[in-house]
Structure 1
Amino acid sequence: MTAPASVPAAGGRVLAHPAPEEIRLEGVLHALSDPLRLRIVRELAADGEELSCSDFVVPVTKSTTTHHFRVLREAGVIRQVYRGTAKMNGLRREELDALFPGLLDSLLGAAAHQEERLADG
């Protein structure tokens, strides 16, 4: 097993990210099984760019939000980097598509369909 890829952070801190060969399907599915984490990924996919943690309006405490972002990062779903004082989040779409072709699009499509279905009552 290789060491996790790291991204330098502000103040010398390092955020660990799994290398592509370490990303496991079950870890990705677990990370996306939580409705809030799936919502975060849907927002990142819709925007297509990096978003700061503060760009997300979530109904949980800051520490719980931090936990959700960490689960997504450690599963290899997102990449987090510091830009100044902001922690920026980006979807690792290219890597996920290469590892699990069609998975992300299928999950995002299914989530959108479910949202429409539930909204229709």
Structure 2
Amino acid sequence: MADTDIATDETSRLIASNKVEGTAVYNRDREKLGSIYNFMVTKREGRVEYAALQFGGLFGLGSDYYPLPWDVLTYDTEQGGYVVDLDKKVLEQAPRYGADSEPTFDRDYGREVYGYYGINYPF
């Protein structure tokens, strides 16, 4: 295969970051919760630690960002988006931040976020 034949945006196993951003996120009841705003990747290992779910507000204005451990997201090809096993009420109480108050993404914050979802913080 020549270098020009390499897929740069999506394969059966990989997807480019610009295709993940903006992807819808649904709960198990097929209710749209929001969309992926961006995601945070560890610099050395290249592992996705969080996906920031943009949720609330109107047309993106007044939205908050909810960091979700990547492991709570499951891609559903039928819906064309990610699915989380969360009720809106649970999500509304989750750790979040506003556009003007991004947290320090350190280990303590990671433990808080992962702990809220009942997952051991692996980093």
Larger Rg: 2
Q: Larger strand proportion, structure 1 or 2? A: 2
State the TM-score, normalizing by the size of structure 1: 0.26
State the TM-score, normalizing by the size of structure 2: 0.26
